[in-house]
């Protein structure tokens, strides 16, 4: 029992070292991110105490940061037309840790702290500071984004897309100057929008997962009070040429003069424009380079959030609806049937990855490990295109009507929808338009009016802060880099479950943690859990520990855990082992 006897305060301050002594992953990264900065004091650490006094190595702030999207796929060449500008969104929250036993952590706002990002090398030494020489975006940006910019507007090299009102973010540039996050919102989230990063590092090598360091800087003293490193995922551009290169299925109609441009990607793009012109004849006056979204509204080119605007956008359906409908339907908009094939036939993930991410692991988390496909969450092309064009009476709103975690994680062992605890389709099988299911037991649900990436849960902490980017929900598949973020924050991968990651001063035993979790790996909980069991109905524990309390899917140990029991016995759980009530003593009555 000795590791507990140091007392709650000491134990908590030593956080990882003490409580997670036996955890499985790289604790080593942890210490580099802990910066001491006692509340209300900007003093430097001049009379540094010896290591064994734990209070004084206690960190005061922690940054929870991740890329807001699972992956972006900017065009690399903008000379013909553009679908996506280079634009990654970083989001972060800053938690000020409690300093005294029982003191709660709090999310802090931008009056105290500024967040900044700068490039940092990954383990192989690859670093990505600037995009200037890696894309011709800035050569064409003024033409492409003319319709967004103020009359005198321009986009400077290394600067991201911006609107009339919205501020832009830049790459740090060759001097690696830290850039301040420009947005802060009511969910206490800092966002760096439209950062124009490319998948090419400064040595010219392809790197789809470059790193950025995020620093929290005290606005008064200018000192860095906490840091973390995020993974910034960037895929290859959408490759229209794989079907629209001359002679292929998307450039085969007679009567059209197909492109002979040597660059295959641009040949495909030119053919898309020629096909579009042949079918709709609308490009008169619109010269390359152009943006498809000039006429087909998309929020990905609307930094000011003003919505559909201008003659074409107001009359056309949204870009996502058009592009998925045109490819989910047959030639000339024919309804697919046994004799009419869709322009892109349904064929698992590759239906989508031909455009989204190519061969890269766009979708790379535990749901991918569990064998789910894009269609299990999003439905197929027709579902993504849900609109009158594909026979629906209603239209889905792209980027808003998305699948939800609660659609499959519909509750707990005691109360959930369907026949299994976790479902494998986010909608009812018979619904061809794949409307996301909503759960009645909201234990694992998003906020009703927000989707995953903007929702907050426990204590106002964002879902992303504890779970990571969409499609890269921690734990990610073996070999994927994203789990380095939770490893920095709590010493092991997976969802942020260690209460001490935020409640550094410890907390009294409770059942009010994220999703109704109790204290984890906490001596106080071992001593006190009986009281909670006895004070509540048995179902309070059955919800996660299983109906017969022998351990369930929701009571798996997140890390290797070792408990020394008062009777001298030691109980060890492997990571992922189901914790049951009879593991340490007889089955409670
Ligand atoms: C897997 C094959 C495939 C890929 C990849 C693909 N397309 Fe197509 N696309 C087709 C086929 C087939 C047609 C129908 C051709 C026809 O009608 O002659 C088509 C038609 C179109 C049309 C005309 C639709 C209409 O009804 O007006 C546009 C525009 C278009 N594609 C754009 C794109 C763009 C942009 C990309 C890349 C982001 C892309 N396509 C990628 C297969 C593909
Ligand atoms: C100058 C305005 C304009 C631009 C730029 C433009 N489109 Fe269109 N697009 C149209 C019009 C008009 C239609 C015809 C819609 C109709 O007939 O109802 C159309 C139709 C389509 C369709 C068929 C589905 C539908 O909504 O009717 C697709 C797919 C499409 N466009 C994709 C693209 C792509 C990809 C680009 C960029 C390469 C692009 N468009 C650029 C105006 C434009
Ligand atoms: C022909 C290329 C193409 C294919 C194939 C394709 N997409 Fe897309 N998808 C796009 C483009 C282009 C956009 C960007 C639309 C925008 O900017 O508004 C997009 C955006 C999206 C979005 C975000 C916008 C929204 O509607 O919510 C989702 C979700 C999506 N695609 C899902 C899928 C799924 C699932 C599949 C496979 C069933 C798929 N896509 C296949 C081209 C494609
Ligand atoms: C386990 C469910 C799940 C699976 C499987 C899944 N997605 Fe998603 N996807 C989501 C959720 C949830 C969102 C909304 C996330 C958010 O809040 O931004 C989303 C959003 C998207 C978006 C919009 C992203 C943006 O930038 O805003 C695209 C595009 C997309 N998915 C494509 C795909 C593709 C392609 C696949 C397969 C390779 C896939 N998804 C597989 C759940 C899933
Ligand atoms: C289409 C259904 C579906 C959707 C939607 C879905 N999941 Fe899952 N999820 C699963 C399945 C299936 C598993 C694997 C269950 C198993 O291992 O038995 C899983 C596993 C998980 C795990 C456990 C991973 C582990 O190994 O411990 C987490 C965490 C998770 N999901 C989070 C999320 C989040 C967050 C969202 C929303 C962004 C989400 N899921 C959306 C089906 C889904
Ligand atoms: C403070 C951290 C924290 C926050 C914030 C948080 N979660 Fe979780 N989440 C967890 C932990 C820890 C687990 C694992 C619970 C378990 O194993 O019983 C989990 C599990 C899940 C699961 C998977 C359950 C399973 O089947 O394995 C889903 C889905 C989920 N959370 C969704 C969300 C959503 C949606 C939000 C935002 C509304 C959110 N979470 C906010 C920590 C958090
Ligand atoms: C990512 C940071 C984070 C993690 C991890 C975290 N918490 Fe919290 N917790 C917070 C914040 C922020 C608050 C809000 C304090 C406030 O309301 O001012 C909070 C509040 C609480 C409260 C008091 C408010 C209430 O809801 O009654 C309890 C109890 C609590 N957390 C328990 C837990 C437990 C148990 C765990 C571990 C399973 C945990 N927390 C993990 C950040 C976190
Ligand atoms: C929201 C889900 C959830 C609920 C509700 C829940 N547990 Fe747990 N419990 C867990 C998880 C997950 C673990 C394993 C955590 C770990 O070690 O990573 C666990 C572990 C434990 C442990 C071992 C100590 C430890 O830190 O691992 C005890 C004791 C325990 N639970 C008792 C209870 C009792 C008693 C109740 C009812 C009053 C209860 N639990 C309710 C999820 C839950
Ligand atoms: C990791 C080991 C461990 C696990 C798992 C565990 N317990 Fe315990 N439990 C203990 C210890 C140790 C005690 C004695 C605490 C003390 O007296 O300090 C105890 C005592 C109890 C008591 C009081 C017994 C008595 O005779 O007074 C009850 C009731 C109880 N536990 C219920 C549960 C339930 C319900 C679960 C599962 C949800 C559970 N325990 C899981 C370690 C564990």
- Residue 47: other Cβ atoms inside 10 A: 7
Ligand 5 near 406 CB (within 6 A): no
Mean of pLDDT values over 467-495: 92
What atom of ligand 5 comes closest to residue 467's alpha carbon?
A: 35
| Tokens coding 498 | 């260690």
pLDDT tens digits for 204-220?
Answer: 999 999 999 999 999 99
Q: Residue 475, preceding bond cis, omega within 30 degrees?
A: yes
pLDDT tens digits for 233-276?
Answer: 999 899 999 999 999 999 999 999 999 999 999 999 999 999 99
Region of 64 (left: φ > 0; alpha: ψ -120 to 50; beta: rest) is beta
C-alpha span between 412 and 212 (Å, rounded): 37
Distances (CA, A) of 200 to 136, 139, 359: 13, 18, 17
C-alpha span between 586 and 462 (Å, rounded): 39
Distances (CA, A) of 356 to 318, 361, 436: 18, 10, 21
Residue with tokens 């001097």: 175
- Residue 209: other Cβ atoms inside 10 A: 21
- How much distance in Å is there from the Cα of 425 to the middle of ligand 5? 11
pLDDT tens digits for 77-98?
Answer: 999 999 999 999 999 999 999 7
Closest CA to 53 of 119, 95, 9: 9
pLDDT tens digits for 425-463?
Answer: 999 999 999 999 999 999 999 999 999 999 999 999 999
Mean of pLDDT values over 157-186: 91
Please give all residues whose beta carbon lies within 6 A of any atom in ligand 1, as ranges.
Answer: 83, 238, 240, 242-244, 249-250, 253, 272, 275-276, 279, 326-327, 331, 343-344, 354-355
Q: Is the dihedral of CA 315, 318, 323, 328 positive or negative?
A: negative
Quick one: pLDDT at residue 286? 66
**Residue ID of nearest Cα to ligand 8 atom 37:** 541
| Tokens coding 253 | 């109609």
| Tokens coding 106 | 């709090």
- How much distance in Å is there from the Cα of 579 to the middle of ligand 8? 7
Ligand 9 near 565 CB (within 6 A): yes
Q: Residue 289, preceding bond cis, omega within 30 degrees?
A: yes
Q: Where are the chain's structural domains? A: 24-136+150-235+451-507, 514-573
Closest CA to 112 of 188, 193, 166: 188
**Residue ID of nearest Cα to ligand 4 atom 16:** 453
By residue count, the chain amounts to 589
Closest CA to 238 of 85, 429, 414, 421: 85
Tell me if 90 sits within 8 A of 181, measured CB to CB.
Answer: yes
Quick one: pLDDT at residue 123? 93
Closest CA to 385 of 396, 374, 394: 396
Ligand 3 near 387 CB (within 6 A): no
C-alpha span between 21 and 529 (Å, rounded): 22
Tell me if 588 sits within 8 A of 534, measured CB to CB.
Answer: no
Q: How far is CA 228 from the centre of its chain?
A: 16
Question: Any residues with CB less than 8 A from the CB of 332 and at least 6 apart, and which?
Answer: 279
Closest CA to 499 of 522, 469, 465: 522
pLDDT band at 354 (very low <50, low <70, confident <90, very high): very high
Quick one: pLDDT at residue 518? 97
Ligand 2 near 315 CB (within 6 A): no
Say if residue 56's pLDDT is above 60.
no
Closest CA to 508 of 497, 516, 519: 519
**Residue ID of nearest Cα to ligand 4 atom 5:** 374
pLDDT, the chain, mean: 87
Q: Is the dihedral of CA 111, 112, 118, 121 positive or negative?
A: negative
> Relative to the alpha carbon of 378, which ligand is closest?
3
> Relative to the alpha carbon of 459, which ligand is closest?
7
Tell me if 487 sits within 8 A of 493, measured CB to CB.
Answer: yes
Ligand 8 near 540 CB (within 6 A): yes
pLDDT band at 150 (very low <50, low <70, confident <90, very high): low
Quick one: pLDDT at residue 243? 97
Ligand 2 near 244 CB (within 6 A): no
- How much distance in Å is there from the Cα of 531 to the middle of ligand 9? 9
Tell me if 58 sits within 8 A of 13, measured CB to CB.
Answer: yes
- Residue bearing the bigger pLDDT, 3 or 468: 468
Closest CA to 88 of 203, 228, 208, 262: 208
- How much distance in Å is there from the Cα of 33 to the middle of ligand 4? 31
Distances (CA, A) of 310 to 148, 154, 300, 314: 11, 21, 17, 6
Quick one: pLDDT at residue 43? 32
- Residue 550: other Cβ atoms inside 10 A: 15
| Tokens coding 240 | 């229209």
- How much distance in Å is there from the Cα of 69 to the middle of ligand 2? 26
Please give all residues whose beta carbon lies within 6 A of any atom in ligand 4, as ranges.
Answer: 69, 349, 352-353, 356, 362-363, 367, 372, 374, 376-378, 399, 402-403, 451-453, 470-471
pLDDT tens digits for 515-568?
Answer: 999 999 898 999 999 999 999 888 999 999 999 999 999 999 999 999 999 899
Mean of pLDDT values over 398-411: 97
pLDDT tens digits for 323-340?
Answer: 999 999 999 999 999 999
- The mean-pLDDT minimum among 91-95, 131-135, 163-167, 534-538 falls in 163-167
Residue with tokens 């927000």: 450
C-alpha span between 462 and 459 (Å, rounded): 9
- Please give the angle made by the CA atoms of 563, 566 and 568, to the nearest 5 degrees: 75
Ligand 8 near 542 CB (within 6 A): no
Tell me if 165 sits within 8 A of 149, measured CB to CB.
Answer: no
Tell me if 273 sits within 8 A of 79, measured CB to CB.
Answer: no
Enter the pTM of the model.
0.93
- How much distance in Å is there from the Cα of 403 to the middle of ligand 1? 25
């Amino acid at each position: 029992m000795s590791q507990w006897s140091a007392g709650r305060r000491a134990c908590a301050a030593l956080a990882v070292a003490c409580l997670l002594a036996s955890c499985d992953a790289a604790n080593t990264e942890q210490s580099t991110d802990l910066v001491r900065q006692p509340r209300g004091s900007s003093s430097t650490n001049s009379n540094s105490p010896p290591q064994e006094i734990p209070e004084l190595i206690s960190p005061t702030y922690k940054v929870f940061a991740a890329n807001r999207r699972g992956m972006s796929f900017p065009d690399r060449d903008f000379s013909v037309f553009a679908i996506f500008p280079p634009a990654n969104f970083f989001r972060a929250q800053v938690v000020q840790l409690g300093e005294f036993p029982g003191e709660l952590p709090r999310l802090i706002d931008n009056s105290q702290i500024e967040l900044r990002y700068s490039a940092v090398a990954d383990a192989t030494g690859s670093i990505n500071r600037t995009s200037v020489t890696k894309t011709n975006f800035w050569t064409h940006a003024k033409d492409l984004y003319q319709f967004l910019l103020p009359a005198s507007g321009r986009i400077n090299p290394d600067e991201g897309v911006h609107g009339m009102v919205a501020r832009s973010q830049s790459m740090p540039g060759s001097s690696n100057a830290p850039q301040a996050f420009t947005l802060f919102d009511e969910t206490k989230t800092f966002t760096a929008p439209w950062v124009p990063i490319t998948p090419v590092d400064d040595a010219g090598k392809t790197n789809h997962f470059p790193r950025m360091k995020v620093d929290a800087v005290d606005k008064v003293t200018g000192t860095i009070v906490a840091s973390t490193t995020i993974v910034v995922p960037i895929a290859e551009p959408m490759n229209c040429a794989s079907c629209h290169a001359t002679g292929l299925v998307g450039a085969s109609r007679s009567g059209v003069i197909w492109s002979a441009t040597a660059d295959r990607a641009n040949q495909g793009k030119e053919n898309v424009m020629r096909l579009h012109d042949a079918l709709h004849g609308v490009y008169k006056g619109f010269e390359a380079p152009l943006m498809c979204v000039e006429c087909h509204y998309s929020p990905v080119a609307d930094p000011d959030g003003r919505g559909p605007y201008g003659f074409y956008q107001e009359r056309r359906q949204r870009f996502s609806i058009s592009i998925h409908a045109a490819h989910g339907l047959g030639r000339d908009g024919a309804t697919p049937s046994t004799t009419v094939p869709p322009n892109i036939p349904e064929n698992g993930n590759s239906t989508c990855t031909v455009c989204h991410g190519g061969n890269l692991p766009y979708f790379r988390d535990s749901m991918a490990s569990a064998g789910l496909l894009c269609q299990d969450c999003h439905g197929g092309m027709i579902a993504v295109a849900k609109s009158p064009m594909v026979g629906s009476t209603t239209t889905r709103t792209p980027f808003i009507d998305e699948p939800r975690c609660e659609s499959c994680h519909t509750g707990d062992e005691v109360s959930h929808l369907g026949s299994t605890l976790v479902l494998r389709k986010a909608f009812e099988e018979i619904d061809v338009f794949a409307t996301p299911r909503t759960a009645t037991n909201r234990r694992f649900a998003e906020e009703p009016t927000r989707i995953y990436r903007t929702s907050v849960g426990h204590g106002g902490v964002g879902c992303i802060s504890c779970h990571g980017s969409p499609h890269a929900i921690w734990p990610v598949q073996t070999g994927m880099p994203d789990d380095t973020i939770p490893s920095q924050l709590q010493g092991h991968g997976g969802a942020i479950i260690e209460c001490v990651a935020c409640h550094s001063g410890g907390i009294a035993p409770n059942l009010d943690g994220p999703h109704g979790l109790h204290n984890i790996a906490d001596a106080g909980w071992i001593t006190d859990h009986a009281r909670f069991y006895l004070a509540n109905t048995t179902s309070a524990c059955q919800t996660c520990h299983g109906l017969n309390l022998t351990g369930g899917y929701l009571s798996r140990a997140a890390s290797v855990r070792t408990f020394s029991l008062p009777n001298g016995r030691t109980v060890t759980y492997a990571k992922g082992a189901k914790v049951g009530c009879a593991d340490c003593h007889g089955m409670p009555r």
